[in-house]
Amino acid sequence: MRSYAVPLAFAADLVCVLAFVVIGRVDHESGTALAGIWGTAWPFLAGTVLGWAVTLGWRAPDRIWPVGLFVWAVTVAGGMALRLLTGEGAPISFVVVTSLFLAAAMLGWRAAALLVARSRRNGPRSGG
């Protein structure tokens, strides 16, 4: 694995969370002030860090199973738990949307990386 793969993979997961938060805040017209983004994002960013820690994600950060799936699950569960502990709401619709968006994003970039790696291993194919 290349030396930059782990920090890049970790950053990709964090970007997925930030994209979710910014899109949600824009969609709900909650504003994009950094303090507001941070207030919404920090529980899920903490969940992502926890997910990486419990899965030892740095060992195989681009693997969908088990790393990607468990990082996603801990991100969602941890983020929701922290929201509830700090008095924020977690209505079922929010849990569903959060889960689906983060699954698509966090597992999606891993699936794309897998396809790219496979195509590089197989090399260019000549027609004929």
- Tens of each residue's pLDDT in the chain, 128 residues: 677 899 999 999 999 999 999 999 999 888 889 999 999 999 999 999 999 999 999 999 999 999 999 999 999 999 999 999 999 999 999 999 999 999 999 999 999 999 998 988 887 765 54
How many CB atoms neighbour CB 6 within 10 A? 17
What sign does the dihedral 2-100-49-70 (CA atoms) show? negative
3-state helix, strand, coil in the chain (%, to 5): 80, 0, 20
| Coil vs helix vs strand at 56 | coil
**Identity of residue 103:** A
Cis bond before residue 66 (omega within 30° of 0): yes
Decide: pTM greater than 0.85: yes
